[in-house]
Amino acid sequence: MSKSRLGIPLTGAAALVAAMAVVLPAQAGTCPASTTCSTTVNFTVTAPGGLTINVPNSPVSIGSGTPGNQISGPLGTIMVSDQRATLTATWVASVVAATGGFTTGGGTAAETIPNTAVLYWSGAATGTTGTGTFVPGQANAGAAQSLDVSRTAFSKTTGSGDNSASWNPTIVINVPAQAVAGTYTGTVNHSVA
């Protein structure tokens, strides 16, 4: 073991100097008396999640009816959850029926109800959270739209931060007079962006 001229082991002296360096507080700035001495503080707010849409479990039955009449019923709660924590937290939820319409049996032309005969209206929100303006795609039955092309189901046009909206849309089927009896099945697709 080497020693300094004073007879203290060098490794012990180095440890003592290191311990003293750790104890001393860091100084951000020095200000004279009677003046403001400022320290900048940083913190980070993170987004807990993204933009998602939740739809009812399948299958959903909206009732029954006869040829030449309407069948109408609620689809179940749709919910958009926006956890992006953005300054401009706007979004548009869209809806469209899958290609091929609603079919029964073998899905022949006589066993198919086209998507032009399948209508959708969102109605007002059943619940919202956060700030901003929530807008139904179709406020009432008179505004119902066919699902042969993509339609706006619901949207948020202003606001910031996390938010959510839910609605319970109504599906209306204009059953053709020539429709055959059977249980018809088709798919309604929702998305959000």
Report the C-alpha gap between 78 and 140 in whole angstroms.
Answer: 16
3-state secondary structure (DSSP) of residue 163: strand
| pTM of the shown model | 0.81
pLDDT for the residue numbered 16: 47
**Where do we find the tokens 């849309």?**
169
pLDDT at 22 over 60: no
- Percent of the chain at pLDDT exceeding 70: 85
**In this predicted structure, what is the pLDDT of residue 46?**
87
Helix (H) or strand (E) holding 10: helix 10-23
The confidence score (pLDDT) of residue 41 equals 93
CA distance 73 to 19: 76
Q: Looking at the predicted structure, is the pLDDT value of residue 4 above 80?
A: no
Q: Is the pLDDT of residue 105 over 80?
A: yes
Evaluated on CA atoms 79, 150, 158, 140, the torsion sign reads negative
Query: What is the dotted CATH code of the domain comprising 51-192?
Result: 2.60.40
Region 65-88 average pLDDT: 97
For the cut 60, the answer to whether the pLDDT of residue 40 exceeds it is yes
